[in-house]
Chain A
Amino acid sequence: MRDDQIVYPAGPVDEARRQLEICNACRYCEGYCDVFPALTRLTEIDNAAVTRLAGVCHNCRGCYYACQYTPPHEFELNLPAALAEVRQEGWERHARPQLLARAFHRSGLALAAALVVGLAAMFAALAALRPESGEGFYAYLSHAAMVAIFLPAFLLPLGVIGLGLRGYWREIGGGRLAWADVVRASRRAASMRNLDGGQGQGCNFEKGERYSNARRHAHQATMWGFLMCFAATSVATLMHYGLGMEAPYGPFSPPKLLGVPGGILLCIGTAGLMALKLRADPGLGASGVLSGEFGFTALLFTVSATGLALYAATGTAAVPALLALHLGAVLAFFLLMPYSKMVHGFYRFAALLADRR
């Protein structure tokens, strides 16, 4: 039988498996990331394993540029793209309803439209619900009204993500978690070790064959900035309900100490990620999602930039408009979490949890 008699299957998981089987016979890339050592430990490359490995892949592209078998070679290996397609298909399939995921993952325009709707909703809320009294932001929208809008807008999408994750966890054969799994996965996520090229030299994203840590650093700024902003909100909630300390908070209060640097990091990180993506080869990622990815990153940038602008404008006449802008962007961001690139963080962490030694 000659190679022209070998039938290459078509679906994302089947195509990824075809490529992984070639990788497993080669193994030159073992030192780059966690995908390849995990591959060598498998006895069978079944659907669960392919999906799990795809979840671990951070699209650093080291393996692509080192590969002897990239097109036009007839083995046609493009593992970063093949695994990205598996991830993308999973995010869209596990979302409910799937229709929304397909729209927002693939269209920056749809994301922009959602943002406009979010903004309009907040302008309308500010106009309709203007309180008679209140301090700081609460002069424009009461604390009760904010909670009434944002609590469900945050928890419901999280619930949708949770449902998707449950299905994903079963699909990748996640099993029971041990504390050591959580520690290990948290370390990997926090350091983004899978973007460091295996030796700290970084990935092959915006410079092709040359290594660079720019993407890892931009992504770390984004993730840590986001987590700090989230922590700022959480701390503020605790202070409000637990200690009876209401906003506005001073510049050296915990919410501000977390939120301002967090917002700055998030701005820098998202701007960096967009700039790098412009220079990277789109052929090494999932197809058809570039616009949705840019749209999502731009939305995250908008959230952080309007937040910082709002803080900078404290006490000026620009506050109500900036408040509506910021809250509108946050509202759109929350509601889009299950249907945008935001879900990758949740699924990535699940895959890292399931990638046991």
Chain B
Amino acid sequence: MSEPPVWDVVVVGGGNAALCAAIEAAEAGATVLVLESAPRIYRGGNSRHTRNFRCMHHGPLSVLTGTYGEDEYYDDLMRVTKGETDPELARLTIRYSEACLPWMEAHGVRFQASLSGTLSLDRTNAFFLGGGKALVNAYYATAEDLGVSVRYEAEVGHVHLEDGAFQWLELTDGTRIAGRAVVLASGGFQADIDWLARAWGPAARNFLIRGTPYNRGVVLRDLLDQGAQSVGDPTQCHAVAIDGRAPKYDAGIVTRVDCVPFSVVVNRDGQRFHDEGEDVWPKRYAIWGRLVAAQPDQVAYAIIDDKARGLFMPTVFPPVEAETLEGLAQALGLPGPALRETVDAFNAACRPGSFHPTERDGLATEGIEPPKTNWARPIDTPPFRGYSLRPGVTFTYLGLRVCPRAQVQGADGPLRNVYAAGEIMAGSILGQGYLAGFGMTIGTVFGRIAGQEAATHAR
């Protein structure tokens, strides 16, 4: 297909939201260009690392069991965001999700039954066969079949607005591309460490970025600089505690360390700092990113003994192991006497009782601060094992304000032909906290809306 001088719809980004928009626009008859800043092998943004889609449904739907109604879904969202959401957009997203799942299947996405160890999600979340990269591959294939053009390693540096409308955009190599409408779906800014450090403080330089290194927020910054309205706390990001040995970027899901409830967690100085047994790990893992971020050097160490073996998901790297606590301290670079003192005090505070790894068992310490309120068993059975923990950033909350038609809001009202979808606007709906599979729902719903609206505007 020869390239038109002016594209109907230009899509900035190459992940789930961008591809949903591109497919919708192409199916509406528009000429569509997708600009993906990553090389082909790393295409797909953070969608590469996702694994499921949270979906409202009445009765069993595809791989989903039971019913997940609008109100329950909305309550789940309110619980994690503590009200930091736009109710209109949130309800729109939830309602539209039910129609999205069949649409996804019709456009090449395959689902599988809930993965082992995730049975609790089999009613609410539909898992992608092969994960998010397989979804991304399916969408690229579908988009190609629809005649969508894709350019890789095409980083957009500037989106030119004139009289409240998009005219053209410029790639970092200087190429100018004109379009009748633009969909901004280029993610958050979490891979820009300097930006993170400005927002969060210098500690952010020690954070690991769980997702793609290509989400640097260049387009988000460019739009905000031109007066677009923002949503979400600009200083905050969602961070969890991950294996401290993980690569700086792009390690995705595998670096999680699920042993915390069965461990004592100490900081660089060998001191405990938080109740490791507050609740089952899926309900607590999100707070540990912040907890570790507050420790000196933004590092912590989870220490377990042989009794904890097999109680948690396998880790990507083997633990550091030693026959004695002192040996483990040395191998981890911790002060031996301090660790010994902490563990001795912890062990002395443990009380007899029955241990149930999968539910809160009330097996709590007595007489130490901070307490461990569940699963508190002495750390006394060699070999001892340890994992270093660091904050791993999942996404940022700052984004562009949009209306229910996915239009970006400028200083003086909506920008006529500028739409946004995915992480770049998700802060409107997920203003705080985290809800598994909801990012993909926002991306799919708003990607589809943005694509339809952009095509309608362009034609």
Contacts and interface: CB of A to CB of B under 8 A. Distances in A.
Contacts of A249: none
Nearest to B251: A75
Interface of A: 1-3, 5-6, 21-22, 24-32, 37, 40, 43, 62-63, 65-70, 72-75, 198-199, 201, 209-210
Nearest to B145: A210
Contacts of B310: 43
B157 interface: no
A6 B245 contact: yes
Interface of B: 41, 48-49, 51, 110, 112-113, 115-117, 127-134, 137, 140-141, 244-247, 250-256, 310, 313-318, 320, 388
B247 A24 contact: no
A62 B128 CA distance: 13
B140 A209 contact: yes
Given A28-B115, A32-B129, A65 B316 contact: no
Given A6-B317, A27-B117, A73-B250, A67 B133 contact: yes
A68 B245 contact: no
B316 A198 contact: no
A38 to B, nearest CB: 11
Contact of A26 (B113, B137, B141, B253): B253
Contacts, number: 101
Contacts of B254: 22, 25-26, 69, 75
- Which 9 residue pairs spanning A and B have beta carbons closest together? A66-B130, A28-B131, A31-B112, A66-B134, A25-B254, A209-B137, A25-B316, A24-B314, A31-B129
A40 B116 contact: yes
B112 A198 contact: yes
9 contacts: A25-B254, A25-B316, A28-B51, A30-B116, A31-B113, A32-B129, A32-B130, A68-B48, A69-B254
A69 B131 CA distance: 12
A27 B48 CA distance: 14
Nearest to B114: A30
Given A22-B254, A31-B129, A199-B129, A1 B113 contact: no
A27 B314 CA distance: 10
B388 A209 contact: no
B332 to A, nearest CB: 8
Contact of B316 (A21, A30, A67, A73): A21
A70 B130 CA distance: 14
A209 to B, nearest CB: 4
Interface SS of chain A: loop
A59 to B, nearest CB: 16
A66 B131 contact: yes
Contacts of B317: 3, 6
A198 B255 CA distance: 26
Contacts of B141: 209-210
B131 A68 contact: yes
A3 B247 contact: yes
Contact of B130 (A25, A28, A74): A28
A25 B314 contact: yes
A25 B250 CA distance: 15
Given A25-B254, A66-B137, A198 B320 contact: no
Q: Which of B113, B134, B140, B247 has the most CB of A within 10 A?
A: B134
B51 to A, nearest CB: 6
Given A26-B253, A201-B110, A210-B141, A66 B117 contact: no
B129 to A, nearest CB: 5
Given A31-B112, A37-B116, A63-B130, 13 more contacts: A1-B244, A1-B320, A21-B314, A21-B316, A26-B131, A30-B115, A65-B133, A66-B130, A68-B250, A68-B252, A74-B247, A75-B251, A75-B254
Contacts of B113: 31
B245 A29 contact: no
A198 B137 CA distance: 17
Contact of B49 (A25, A43, A62, A68): A68
Given A1-B320, A28-B115, A210-B141, A70 B41 contact: yes
A173 B229 CA distance: 64
Given A70-B41, A198-B112, A29 B314 contact: no
